[in-house]
Amino acid sequence: MSARTPSEGGTGQSQPTHVVTCFLLRRDRGKDELLLVRRSQKVRTYRGAWAGVSGYLEPGVTPLQQAYTEIREEVALPFDAVQLLREGEPLAVSDAARSLSWVVHPFLFALPQPDRIQTDWEATEHQWVTPAELAQLQTVPMLADALARVYP
């Protein structure tokens, strides 16, 4: 996610903060796997949790444009290295324990060359998991629900 100060959203304000979440898909020997990144201690929220490539929706930018920006910044992939498969309906997420509310714009991209992934400071590691394995991980809130909006 792009850096923001706490006053810029996701802090319990009456208006939810809009974010994008990108699921990168690889097909390995007929098995679908998704790239997840573990959020570093340098990010503001959900440190140590697994997530898709994600970021705040910047003013004047469409969710799809922001998705491509986050992919470029967080995993060092240019626009032409991924293929958009599906854009899902936005998902409202409320984290009452932290007084946070979000609108997640989910995307699913195919990644023909998964060996090109290079994470930035926002992630401490990354891994490939099957969609079924997602339930076994400590993730950001409602990550499986966001995936269900884009993955068949």
**Total of domains in the chain:** 1
**Cα–Cα distance measured from residue 20 to residue 39, given in angstroms and rounded to the nearest whole number:** 15
- Residue 125: C-alpha distances to residues 35, 47, 51 (Å): 11, 12, 11
Per-residue pLDDT of 71-120, as tens digits, reads 999 999 999 999 999 999 999 999 999 999 999 999 999 998 888 899 99
Please report whether residue 67 resides in a domain: yes
Report field, pTM of the whole predicted structure over 0.75: yes
Average pLDDT of the chain? 90
- Residue 7 covered by a domain: no
pLDDT of residue 10: 47
CATH number at residue 88: 3.90.79.10
User: Does residue 132 register a pLDDT over 90?
Assistant: yes
β-strands 100-110, 31-39: how paired? unpaired
Residue 124 confidence (pLDDT): 94
* Domain interval for residue 54: 16-148
